[in-house]
Amino acid sequence: MVARPSFRIAILALLPTTPGRALAQRLPGDVALAAGVDALAAPEARARRLSGIILIARGDRVILQHTWGFADWERRVPHTAATRFGIGSITKVLTETIVDQLVNENRLDLSAPVATYLPGFPDGPKGGHPTVGDLLTHRAGVPWRVTTELEETEHLNPADIVERVKAKGLLFEPGTQEYYSSAGFTCLARIVEVVEGKPFDQVLAERIFRPGSMTRATGETGQRLMPDRALPYRLVAGAVNTAVASARYKDLGFLTGAGSLYTTAEDLLHIVRALHGGAFGSIVARKQLGAPTDTVWASWYGYINGYEASMDFLPAQDLTFVFLTNLQSAATWQIRAGVRNLLTGRPVRAIAQVPAVAPGFEALSGVVGAYGDPADPVVISEAEGRLFRNGNEVYPIVGGWYYEPDTGTTMRFARDAGGRVDSMLTRYSGGRERTMPLIGPPGTDRLPLRRSARRGGP
């Protein structure tokens, strides 16, 4: 059953006790859309499973901008239009745009070996030379990440990441596989620094933020204060189902060029309008936003450490839909799908119910391990009596299953005749199932997340 939409006049909408706050003036034709969005989002906000902002624009005109939840949950500080969110891999879209500019200026050669710009950069296992283009297409063999959890709390720059890639080496012969690598994009950021002779954040400001009218965008500031930054949160097991918890601290400098940016919903609209208007050239605009007559969404997506961000653009209707959150939740991708359907007149599915926490039914130490493909394993770990899947907490539900509140994924473990766990069955939110064999104890290498900045969905 879908909850009835709740609307409040502007004065009441400013109160932090309300589940949502409208930030854009609505015209009569926009009321139905606002009602549909609120019907999707408000129940999840009341259940403390949504915290963020939605912005929808047709052309340059914002037709809806609404917030739910809090930038600071402990102090109950509400989001505003000025709230900055981490945008994760959407950062890569802007890095790619800079690379395209330098290529068009004949200052960067995609076919050149990376070592041309970064001396000592490793070759593949058989001696192949990774190119700049391989980094751009995730085919260089660079690991997903090359940092430890502890190192990710320190302030690292692109040169530091390059040195770690040199120490780690490449995973495979360049050009033979595609392996999603944030560390590879940070190596691209270092190449940009070498070509430009400036820090990457300065290049971003000059080449992207200023011409794109991104007045609130910024890279990681480390220990320096960042005004209006939303703090990041995750969903964990609560007394009944889910509860809001702080995400671990990370200094996103280690993801410079790959996932280090913070910005506002309005700034993402500004860069879309700049691209659409030709500020970065027609070729770049078509690459990032599609052809003007396209009837399919062009999508950017990213998440990092509790933040989740998406930008969906429908060229044929000149529609922009920005969704930024500081609470990673299975509700996010479902609301995103629902709003896209609202905008295109398609049926909207209700948000899936979140299962209740059940009593534990097996020893967690017996299910810990790495499952699936050795080159891309799913790691199950245990800490303080809680179970984690690739670092995200899961909790027991009825029927011998576990639930991952960040994504809506469920899983269970199978045993051999001797009672030992030998595989894990995963049931994804879309209904697809996958059985993964136990391949060994949890490793120390970091895991790749195969999600492109332009791929939609969870």
Kindly give, in sequence order, each residue whose CB lies less than 8 Å from that of residue 151, ignoring residues fewer than 6 positions away. Answer: 254
Q: 187 and 131 in one domain?
A: yes
Q: What is the pTM of this model?
A: 0.90
Query: Is residue 30 over pLDDT 70?
Result: yes
Sign of CA dihedral 43, 49, 51, 56: negative
Q: How many domains would you assign to the chain?
A: 2
Q: Which pLDDT value is given to residue 376?
A: 77
Mean pLDDT of 168-192: 96
d(CA 107, CA 90): 24
Render 119-168 in DSSP notation, one character per residue: TTPPPPTTSPPPBHHHHHTT-S---S----TTGGGS---HHHHHHHHHHH
Three-point CA angle 273, 274, 279, nearest 5°: 150
Query: Is residue 294 over pLDDT 50?
Result: yes
Give the chain's end-to-end CA distance (angstroms, integer).
23
77 exposed, middle or buried (CB, 10 Å; 0-12, 13-18, 19+)?
A: middle
Does residue 253 form part of some domain? yes
Q: 216 and 180 in one domain?
A: yes
pLDDT-based confidence at 443, cuts 50/70/90?
low
Q: Which pLDDT value is given to residue 6?
A: 33
Q: Which pLDDT value is given to residue 25?
A: 55
Q: Which pLDDT value is given to residue 29?
A: 56
304 SS3 class: strand
pLDDT-based confidence at 444, cuts 50/70/90?
very low
Three-point CA angle 256, 258, 260, nearest 5°: 50
* 75-131 per-position pLDDT tens digit: 999 999 999 999 999 999 999 999 999 999 999 999 999 999 999 999 999 999 999
pLDDT-based confidence at 27, cuts 50/70/90?
low
Mean pLDDT of 350-367: 95
pLDDT-based confidence at 7, cuts 50/70/90?
very low
Q: Which pLDDT value is given to residue 441?
A: 83
| Contact predicate 47/69, CB 8 Å | no
Q: 419 and 333 in one domain?
A: no
Q: 246 and 130 in one domain?
A: yes
Q: 385 and 348 in one domain?
A: no
The rounded mean pLDDT for the chain is: 90
d(CA 88, CA 2): 31
Least confident of 272-286, 372-386, 404-418: 372-386
Query: Is residue 375 over pLDDT 90?
Result: no
SS (H, E, C) 357-419: CCCCCCCHHHCCEEEEECCEEEEEEEECCEEEECCEEEEEECCCEEEECCCCEEEEEEECCCC
Query: Is residue 230 over pLDDT 50?
Result: yes
Q: 369 and 432 in one domain?
A: yes
Does residue 5 form part of some domain? yes
Does residue 347 form part of some domain? yes
Query: Is residue 28 over pLDDT 70?
Result: no
Does residue 37 form part of some domain? yes
Q: 162 and 94 in one domain?
A: yes
Q: 429 and 304 in one domain?
A: no
Query: Is residue 455 over pLDDT 60?
Result: no
Q: 404 and 339 in one domain?
A: no
Query: Is residue 5 over pLDDT 50?
Result: no
| Percent of the chain with pLDDT strictly greater than 70 | 90
Pairing of strands 70-72, 77-78: antiparallel
**CATH of residue 316:** 3.40.710.10
Of 4, 36, 38, 33, the C-alpha closest to 21 is: 38
Q: 136 and 284 in one domain?
A: yes
Q: Which pLDDT value is given to residue 431?
A: 85
Detail the DSSP E strand segments found in 18-74. 20-22, 52-58, 61-68, 70-72
Does residue 458 form part of some domain? no
Query: Is residue 380 over pLDDT 90?
Result: yes
Kindly give, in sequence order, each residue whose CB lies less than 8 Å from that of residue 260, ignoring residues fewer than 6 positions away. Answer: 91, 219, 220, 252, 253, 254
Q: 296 and 250 in one domain?
A: yes
The partner residues of 328 in beta bridges, in order of sequence, read 234
Does residue 359 form part of some domain? no
Tokens of 83: 């709230």
Domain boundaries, position 143: 1-354
Query: Is residue 344 over pLDDT 60?
Result: yes
- Tell which of 354, 388, 410 closes a domain: 354
Does residue 446 form part of some domain? no
| Contact predicate 423/438, CB 8 Å | yes
322 SS3 class: strand
Query: Is residue 273 over pLDDT 90?
Result: yes
Does residue 455 form part of some domain? no
Mean pLDDT of 260-275: 98
pLDDT-based confidence at 10, cuts 50/70/90?
very low
Mean pLDDT of 338-360: 95
Q: Which pLDDT value is given to residue 453?
A: 39
322 exposed, middle or buried (CB, 10 Å; 0-12, 13-18, 19+)?
A: buried
Categorise residue 89: left if φ over 0, alpha if ψ from -120 to 50, beta otherwise.
alpha
Of 175, 181, 191, 99, the C-alpha closest to 139 is: 175
pLDDT-based confidence at 1, cuts 50/70/90?
very low
Q: 194 and 58 in one domain?
A: yes
d(CA 434, CA 426): 5
Q: Which pLDDT value is given to residue 23?
A: 63
Query: Is residue 11 over pLDDT 50?
Result: no
Query: Is residue 144 over pLDDT 80?
Result: yes
Binning the chain into helix, strand and coil, the percentages to the nearest 5 are 30, 25, 45
pLDDT-based confidence at 373, cuts 50/70/90?
confident
Three-point CA angle 225, 259, 71, nearest 5°: 45
